[in-house]
Amino acid sequence: MKVLTHKELAPSIFELTLQGELVSEMKQPGQFVQVKTTEGAEPLLRRPISISSYNSSEKQFTMIYRAEGKGTTLLSQRKQAEAVDILGPLGNGFPVHEAKEGETALLVGGGIGVPPLYQLSQMLVANGVRVIHVLGFQTKSAIFYEKEFSELGDTHIATVDGSYGTKGFVTTVIDKLEQEFATIFSCGPTPMLKALEAGYGEKRLYLSLEERMGCGIGACFACVCHTGDDPTGFSYKKVCSDGPVFRAGEVIL
């Protein structure tokens, strides 16, 4: 696919918009793509990155990623009009229709888990769902998309160091929320997902998981987790092809 725009939103956080035919296959928020960050064998593996938003008619989609290791750092050097090798869309995303018109949905994102919630939020709002966003970051300078989310619904920010919004974690914010909500959609680091599962497991809670991947398509068994109803047995789910989004309790975090 072709780079349309590529910009740094916050230190090391990049927003990359690509154009190409395969956008037409994107069906659900929370799906991801596997990005080849360079030609050749180094780094070898593709990088899983969530689709942050997509526009089927314009054949465009956007991802937001942190340039951290070898692959993402190389990706961050791609310039406008250059080609990027994308495999996807992959996996099963957030079940948008689980939140019904007129209901309120809570969208909880942590750090680089925030991006896929953006497409989700847009689609929920389009369906007449009220959305509340609770977004957690390390520090003020790491925050991105606050304005974009605010335009869709209430947006609360937590920072670990208290440099902006509420000091603490997303759960610090949620525990004090006054609004009611029936459904939670969440994406972020595993400790955050565990805290949500512990505190809000009785709600309709959907979690997007991360796992180290080989193939990204279900063939290599790198990304399996035990299922909730057989926690030590042989049944399993693959994060890449059964997930990355699961209903809380479906798999063992």
Partner 1 sequence: MSRLSVELPGLHLKNPVMPASGCFGFGREYSQFFNLDILGAIMIKATTPEPRFGNPTPRVAETSSGMLNAIGLQNPGLEKVISEELAWLGGYDVPIIANVAGSQITDYVKVASDISKVPNVKALELNISCPNVKEGGIAFGTVPEVAKEVTKAVKEVSSVPVYVKLSPNVSNIVEMAKAVEEGGADGLTMINTLVGMRLDLKTGKPILSNRTGGLSGPAIKPVALRMIYEVSQQVSIPIIGMGGIATAEDVIEFFYAGASAVAVGTANFVDPFVCPTIIEELPKLLDELGFDHISECTGRSWKQNEAVTNYRP
Contact indicator for 252, 225 with CB cutoff of 8 Å: yes
CA dist., res. 74 & res. 7, Å (int): 14
161 lies in the binding site for partner 1 (CB under 8 A): no
Q: x/- binding map, residues 24-63, to ligand FES, per CB under 6 A?
A: ----------------------------------------
- Which one of its own copies, partner 1, ligand FES, none interacts with residue 226, CB within 5 to 8 A by kind? partner 1
What is the smallest separation between the CB atom of 124 and ligand FMN, expressed in angstroms? 37
What b-and-e string marks burial along 150-169, b requiring 16 or more CB atoms within 10 Å of the CB? eebbebbbbbeeeebbbebb
- Which one of ligand FES, its own copies, ligand FMN, none interacts with residue 42, CB within 5 to 8 A by kind? its own copies
Which of 222, 194, 232, 246 is closest to 34 using CA atoms? 222
Q: Which helix (H) or strand (E) holds 197?
A: helix 190-200
Size of the site for partner 1 (CB under 8 A): 31
223 lies in the binding site for ligand FES (CB under 6 A): yes
What b-and-e string marks burial along 218-248, b requiring 16 or more CB atoms within 10 Å of the CB? eeeeebbbbbbeeeeeeeebbbbbbbbbbeb
The helix/strand/coil state of 75 is helix
215 lies in the binding site for partner 1 (CB under 8 A): yes
- Which one of ligand FAD, ligand FMN, partner 1, none interacts with residue 66, CB within 5 to 8 A by kind? ligand FAD
Q: Residues 136, 142, 144, 147: what is their CA dihedral angle, to the nearest 10 degrees?
A: 80
214 lies in the binding site for ligand FES (CB under 6 A): yes
Contact indicator for 113, 208 with CB cutoff of 8 Å: yes
Restricting to residues 232-251, name those near ligand FES by CB under 6 A: 238, 240
Quick one: 83 or 220, whose CB is closer to ligand FMN? Answer: 220
Quick one: 38 or 139, whose CB is closer to its own copies? Answer: 38
- Interacting residues toward its own copies by CB under 8 A: 38, 40-42, 70, 74
94 is written with which tokens? 């957030």
What is the smallest separation between the CB atom of 179 and ligand FAD, expressed in angstroms? 27
Side-chain half-sphere CA neighbours of 136 within 13 A: 22
Q: Pairing mode, if any, of strands 245-247 and 130-137?
A: unpaired
216 lies in the binding site for ligand FES (CB under 6 A): yes
47 lies in the binding site for ligand FAD (CB under 6 A): yes
| Helix runs in 46-179, H state only | 70-75, 116-126, 146-150, 170-176
Quick one: 8 or 68, whose CB is closer to partner 1? Answer: 68
8 lies in the binding site for ligand FAD (CB under 6 A): no
Quick one: 191 or 214, whose CB is closer to ligand FMN? Answer: 214
Quick one: 56 or 77, whose CB is closer to its own copies? Answer: 77
